[in-house]
Structure 1
Amino acid sequence: MSRLHRRALLGAATLLALPRLAHAWPDRSIRLIVPFAPGGGTDTTARIVAQALTERLGQSVVVENRAGAGGAIGMAQAAQAAPDGYTLVMGHVATHVVNMAVQRNPGYDTARDFVALGITSTAANILVVNPNRQSGINTLQDFVAACRAKPDELSYGTAGVGSPAHITTALFLRTADVKAQHVPYRGGAPATTDLVAGNLDFMFSGASDCIPHIRAGRLRGIAAASSKRLSGAPQIPTVAESGYPDFAFEIWHTLSARRGTPPEVLAKLREATHAALTSPQVIERITAMGVDATPTTGEAAQQRVDRELARWVPMIRAAGITAD
């Protein structure tokens, strides 16, 4: 083979490689779907992470809100996207686990459609009572005794059927073998407001909603449904500490990509996500929301999703909770 021929072949090989190099991922903006309305905790978390990923990937990560059906609409849209790394979704325990149990046909399947990139944060609901309406309830034992004394009479509010607060309450009532009246609201904040006003007896309220009221004395914190005491309210014991050692239902947020994303792209996404979530700036901003920043690797995040699907879906179904 002549030197000229070899040069021609080398030139052709270089030209063939150019499109591959020019289109190395990512070469355009990335869409981050938030399956809830703007302004909530999931949306705020997504925007913090999107900014950090933009800096690390060199392409804009653009948040797109697709709310409705308890997050199922946005999750289903993400599940229909191409598995190319250009569509991500920020969900949490309700979108990834609870919907698999309470919705007959949510339009997606967590295990089939998504792969986790990292857990961003973890929070938990706190059992709270109005101290004026329920002056005799100071401990979890007091609460269970009050429920047993008035079966199915005490009322509690939630952000709606199938919401994390509803699941937390229903599972605890089932664990304690007591009953109460469910009053669903269009969001956790209005339910907490009604509890403060004395229109409800108790609720498992989100930490960011209820801690200001606890500090002001308008609500009394009884127990947190977390694996450890919350950093924002360390004086409140966990449900496990208060006599139910196996009970904890935590609200974690996870960033996910489509399952089937090319391995090299998935590796870049997981690496960038872990770097973003472990940065001091991101940890500070997430912690300021009143939740615990709990950054994990993609592999650890996937293990948690798989573990909680296996644990909670059968229990939720057994409790007869349905959103359909």
Structure 2
Amino acid sequence: MRRRAVLAGGLALPALARAQDFPGRPVSMVVAFPPGGQADVVARPVAAALERHWRQPVPVVNRAGAAGEIGNAFVARAAPDGTTLLMALSSLAVLPEAARLFGRPPAYEMEQLAPIALFTADPTLLVVPAASPWRSLEEFLADGRARPGRISYSSSGNYSALHVPMAMLAKAAEVELLHVPFQGGAPALTALLAGQVQALASGPGPVAPHLREGRLRALASWGAHRPAGMPEVPTLIERGFREAEYYIWAGIFAPAGTPAPIHEALRAAMAAVAAEPETGRALATGGNTLDYRDGAAFEEFLRTDSARLVRAVQRIGRVE
């Protein structure tokens, strides 16, 4: 027993030494989507704050494809040394379950990623062009029922963070909408602004400037409460769709197996940059609200939200 304890202590010493010098070299922050989407607009101010804190480069690396699956899997397989991080969205737990629906082995499992810190957890907004004929959720749904499959919406891919909430609404409201997937949130928003599609579910960050400028109109929110600063926008829950609750959250993950001292160094750094007023201001400028959680609080949030989303995917079923 004593020999095993000595060996364990000896193995822990190198990790502790690395943590004391951490990071000592650049740390990549992977975003599994193209620039301009929700994960990207949260990652960039956080990465900038970490660069100031660590005095090391923290490049944001966009590894887009397969609704986020490619970038998520890349980090899940990365060396667990703390130098490759993932700014993940709520679709993180959805994609492995979607793969199982099709009988495919998932590209990664949640157990391969270690949660570090949550930065935002914004309710999703249903937005349409300001020139559209719908001025309320009820008008939108009534038109959708009158013209099945004729109202189109864009997303960042099948089972992505922009697809699942719309699929949840369509299922709950018994309305058939036309899904048009793109490679990421930014192309999906561009398609809406260009008139290629007619609706979009989005986190507030990417659409906030267009709402302020009057180019888009918000019809509803998937949150439990009306969105901050938008008291006129009802929630789907208050409109009777109790199963339609969805948050586009953004949080930092490291590969599982990252040594505990490095994991704690990462958590401490995230807490420090979240406490800087400049970080909150930068996120707010991008239309997001800082909602920082780490440790047990983030783990509990992740468990609860992931369980809700897995149930939603099972209800939605296979999407070709």
TM range (shorter): 0.7 to 0.9
Residue 39 of structure 1, CA deviation: 4.6
Offset at residue 142 of structure 1 (A): 2.8
TM-superposed deviation, 1:243: 2.7
Report the residue type matching 2:22 in the other structure. P
1:207 paired residue number? 204
Q: Which moved more, 1:37-46 or 1:247-256?
A: 37-46
The 5-angstrom pairing of residues 179-258 of structure 1 reads 179-196=176-193, 199-231=196-228, 233-258=230-255
Does 35-44 or 260-269 show the bigger shift? 35-44
Distance 1:287 1:22, change over 3 A: same
SS across alignment from 2:108: coil
Q: Cα distance 1:189–1:46, how it changes in 2: closer, same or farther (>3 A)?
A: closer
What's 2:119 paired with? 120
- 1:3-22 matches, within 5 Å, as none
Q: Is the contact between residue 211 and residue 233 of structure 1 (CA under 8 Å) also seen in structure 2?
A: no
Aligned to 2:287, which of 280, 290, 293? 290
Q: Which moves more between the two structures, 123-132 or 217-226?
A: 123-132
Question: How far apart are the structure 1 equivalents of 2:171 and 2:138?
Answer: 15
Deviation at 1:246, TM superposition (A): 4.4
Of 32, 36, 43, the residue aligned with 2:33 is: 36
Query: How far apart, CA to CA, are the structure 2 residues paired with 1:256 and 1:125?
Result: 22
Q: Is the Cα–Cα contact under 8 Å of residues 165 and 201 in structure 2 kept in the other structure? A: yes
Question: CA 1:53–1:199 in structure 2 vs 1: closer, same or farther (change >3 Å)?
Answer: closer
Contact 1:121-1:291 within 8 A present in 2 as well? yes
- Residue 169 of structure 2 corresponds to residue 162 of structure 1: no
1:140 aligns with 2:116: no
The within-5 A match list for 1:82-97 is 82-94=79-91, 96-97=92-93
Matched, 1:304 2:301: yes
Match of 2:124, SS state, is: strand
Q: 1:27 to 1:277 in 2, by over 3 A?
A: closer
Q: Is the 8 A contact 1:118 1:300 kept in 2?
A: no
Indicate the residue corresponding to 1:98 in structure 2. 94
Q: Decide whether aligned partners of structure 1 residues 243 and 142 sit closer, same or farther in structure 2, where only a CA change above 3 A counts.
A: farther
Give distance in 1, aligned partners of 2:232 and 2:201: 17
User: For residue 13 of structure 1, what is the aligned residue in structure 2?
Assistant: none
Judge conservation of contact 1:223–1:238 (CA < 8 Å) in 2.
yes
Matched residue SS, 2:93: helix
**In the alignment, which residue of structure 1 is the partner of 2:312?**
315
- The 3 A distance-change label for structure 1 pair 194 and 66 is closer
C-alpha separation between the residues in 1 aligned to 2:58 and 2:24? 9
In structure 2, give the amino acid aligned to 1:98.
V
Is 2:258 aligned against 1:266?
Answer: no
Question: Which stretch shifts more, 119-128 or 211-220?
Answer: 211-220
Deviates more, 1:181-190 or 1:271-280: 181-190
Does the CA-based 8 Å contact 2:67-2:183 persist in structure 1?
A: no
Aligned residues: 303
Equivalent-residue separation in structure 2 for 1:150 and 1:156 (angstroms): 14
Between the aligned partners of 1:67 and 1:195, the Cα distance in structure 2 is 20
**CA RMSD between the two structures:** 2.9
Q: TM-score, length-normalised on structure 2?
A: 0.81
1:145 Cα deviation after fit: 2.5
1:97 counterpart letter in structure 2 = A
Q: Work out whether 1:79 is the aligned partner of 2:49.
A: no
- 1:158 shift after superposition: 2.4
Aligned to 1:107: 107
Q: Structure 1 275/106 Cα, relative in aligned 2: closer, same or farther at 3 Å?
A: same
The residue type equivalent to 1:28 in the other structure is G
Displacement, 1:269?
A: 1.7
- Select which of 173, 176, 179 maps to 2:173: 176
**Given residue 264 of structure 1, which amino acid in structure 2 is its aligned partner?**
P
- Aligned partner letter, 1:102: A
Give the direction of change, closer, same or farther, for the CA distance of 1:25–1:108 in structure 2 (3 Å limit). Answer: farther
Q: Which residue of 1 aligns with 2:6?
A: none
Unpaired segments of 5 or more residues in structure 1? Answer: 1-17
> Which residue identity lines up with residue 171 of structure 1 in the other structure?
M
Asked if structure 2 preserves the Cα contact closer than 8 Å seen for 1:25 and 1:265, the reply is: no
